[in-house]
Amino acid sequence: MNTSQSAWTSRTWRDRTALQQPHWPDGAAHEAVLEQLSSLPPLVFAGETRELTDRLADVAAGRAFLLQAGDCAESFDTSADSIRDRLRVILQMAVVLTYYTGVPVVKVGRIAGQFAKPRSSDTETIDGVELPSFRGHIVNDVGFTAEERAADPERLLTAYHRATATLNLLRAFTKGGFADLSRVHQWNREFVATSPAGQRYAAIAEEIERAVQFMSACGINSETLTDLRQVDFYTSHEALLLDYEEALTRRDSLTGDWVDCSAHMLWIGERTRQLDGAHVEFLRGVANPLGCKIGPTATAEEVIALCEALNPERIPGRLTLVTRMGATKVVDGLPPLLTAVKESGHPVVWTCDPMHGNTFTADDGRKTRHFEDVLAEVSGFFAAHRFAGTHPGGVHLELTGDDVTECLGGGAEVVTADLANRYETMCDPRLNGSQSVDLAFRVAELLRNGTH
């Protein structure tokens, strides 16, 4: 039995088990905040979510590539510069991918709402003191005091306002000239530019600039062709706190569809993808394009049942399956799933999250990932698709434009002793700017070899 046979409203998830929800000590204050949220303006418009579904349909058909990337957990303290630099590194990666493969890149940020985190344990114990786990800035704070770890419903409102301000800035940058292709050189930040990947990037930026100058001499420039000046950039986050998502779900006056207006795309995490659970129940009813994480324990039957529940009408672009198997498991684990879904006829986008199956604790006690493991999972993903005759549709990454030292290896060679230098993540380790550009080149090579 799947869930899609019964009637849906934005509240039917409440009859199911919702894992990973915080305990709000002040229930009345929580309810009051939800009431307020439900009367605030939507962050995105239904038409934009439909447009993204169409773009993702191109990805499903092998005509475009999905680059979904950003923070593991966004912070309420993220500066405007840091938001700009995250966008900048994603634009750089997209340029590399497009330039080398000739394939359009659909750009989706883990940004402007990626505030809630699932945790493996409800509590954390340090030196005999047990406190609630940190669940992302939308719930509590990262510091280890009872006050900081208490779930505060006011944070739901702050999350909404932070997401609004972030999205506003992203819209300004992507439509207001920052993303103009003639600025492709200026996206290369100094610390990236000095790395081998940054130097490689500078070389293609030069070629693109020459092409832009040539076109301009022919009368085609960003004044005459807005596509040269603007990029489409979409937002996404894990739809974890269902009462927040419910409060931002609105009816589209044009189509009558229900749309979760907190972001363009929402995904279901590995820990909350139970077929009879609240997250699948909520998301099956909203018209946004959806993602669903698929970890190494998923069976072909489960994956097909998720496709049936989340996309019973088999709309191309509606469902993206984000596989996160781990570098050692992807080659054996992925092909049976690809084949089963292919045979079922479901038109999914397959994308690779090479981050979450490759996390380990370094000798200094910090959570990290090795660039080579990330790359190995992406390579295995491409190999699995070649084997199954399916499209490797994209990558899903945790990164930042900043010069952090959270993941090991990569062009600029971060070693364990460097981790302490700039380890700033509130949750999982992210690729830094030069590791991200380096990875874009490697992915572009894999994609090119697979398509030619």
Residues that bind Co ion (CB under 5 A): 72, 428
Q: For tokens 């700033």, what's the residue?
A: 424
Please identify, using beta-carbon distances, which residue of 360 and 387 lies nearer to ligand PEP: 360
Contact 204, 96 (CB under 8 A): yes
Q: Does 279 bind ligand PEP (CB under 6 A)?
A: no
Segment interacting with ligand PEP (CB under 6 A) among 5-13, 221-229, 263-271, 377-385: 263-271
Minimum Å distance from CB 72 to Co ion?
3
Q: Taking CB under 6 A as the rule, does residue 66 contact ligand PEP? A: no
204-243 mask for ligand PEP (x: CB under 6 A)? ----------------------------------x-----
Give the one entry of ligand PEP, Co ion, none that residue 314 binds, where binding means its C-beta sits below a cut-off of 5 to 8 angstroms depending on kind.
none
Identify the three-state secondary structure at position 111: strand
Tell me the torsion sign for CA atoms 419, 420, 422, 425: positive
Residue 267, amino acid: W
Contact status: 291 vs ligand PEP (CB under 6 A): no
Please say which residue, 193 or 239, places its beta carbon nearer to ligand PEP: 239
- Binding ligand PEP (rule: CB under 6 A), the pick from 293, 346, 369, 430 is 293
- 212 sits in which H/E element: helix 196-217
Residues 193 and 203 sit within 8 Å (Cβ to Cβ): no
d(Cα 98, Cα 380) in Å, to the nearest integer? 21
Stretch that binds ligand PEP, among 32-40, 139-147, 264-272, 342-350 (CB under 6 A): 264-272
Q: Is 366 exposed, middle or buried (0-12, 13-18, 19+ CB in 10 A)?
A: middle
270 binds, among ligand PEP, Co ion, none (CB under 5 to 8 A by kind): ligand PEP
> Which entry of Co ion, ligand PEP, none binds 326, CB below 5 to 8 A by partner kind?
none
Alpha carbon distances (Å) from 26 to 18, 20, 23, 31, 154: 19, 18, 9, 9, 11
Does residue 445 sit in helix, strand or coil? helix
324 binds ligand PEP (CB under 6 A): yes
Nearer to ligand PEP, 318 or 324 (CB): 324
Residue closest to ligand PEP when measured from CB atoms = 269
Give CA–CA dist 287/290, Å, rounded.
8
Number of residues that bind ligand PEP (CB under 6 A): 10
For ligand PEP, the binding residue among 59, 72, 280, 399 (CB under 6 A) is: 72
C-alpha span between 234 and 265 (Å, rounded)? 8
Residues 329 and 377: their CA atoms lie apart, in Å, by 8
Tell me the CA end-to-end span of the chain in Å, nearest whole number: 42
Site map (CB under 6 A) of ligand PEP, residues 103-142, x = contact: ---------------x------------------------
Q: How far is the CB of 267 from ligand PEP (least distance, A)?
A: 8
CB of 300 to ligand PEP, least distance (A): 19
C-alpha–C-alpha distance, residues 68 and 105, integer Å: 10
C-alpha span between 134 and 117 (Å, rounded): 8
Residue 72 or 193: the one with the smaller Cβ distance to Co ion is 72
Picked from ligand PEP, Co ion, none, the partner binding residue 346 (CB below 5 to 8 A depending on kind) is none
Contact residues: ligand PEP, CB under 6 A: 72, 118, 238, 269-271, 293, 324, 356, 428
